[in-house]
Amino acid sequence: MPINLDEALKWYRKAADLGNMRAQRALGVNYYVGEKAPRNAPGAFHWLEKSTEQGSDQTQFQLGMFSALNEDGFRNAKAAREWLIAAAN
């Protein structure tokens, strides 16, 4: 059966909307990378922040790295440092 990325993203979005931390993180990473979904930095940060609100230390690390490296206007050294410290604790 061929992979249907649109269908997969639809289900990730439904799970993320219902508060699933892993789906929120997956959506955030996919929107940031732009490999399986159109690149969307604001959407990436939205879903990654939702995931961190539920205590995901992996997502705190992702936000730290994305904040440090992002070239879409979301580069923020102070936020990067704070997220990376939070992930390390």
pTM of the predicted model as reported, rounded to 2 decimal places: 0.81
Q: So what's the pLDDT on residue 39?
A: 87
Whether 1 has a pLDDT exceeding 80, the answer reads no
Contact status, residue 42 vs residue 57, Cβ threshold 8 Å: no
Q: Residue 11: which pLDDT band, with cuts at 50, 70 and 90?
A: very high
For the domain spanning 5-88, the CATH number is 1.25.40.10
Query: Could you please report the per-residue DSSP string of 16-58?
Result: HHTT-HHHHHHHHHHHHH-SSS---HHHHHHHHHHHHTTT-HH
Output the six-digit token pair for 72.
């879409």
Q: So what's the pLDDT on residue 24?
A: 95
Q: What is the mean pLDDT of the chain?
A: 87
Q: Which residue has the higher pLDDT, 54 or 16?
A: 16
- 40-83 pLDDT, tens digit each: 888 988 999 999 998 888 899 988 888 888 767 777 889 899 98
Output the six-digit token pair for 9.
């993203």
Q: Which position has the token pair 């289900």?
A: 11
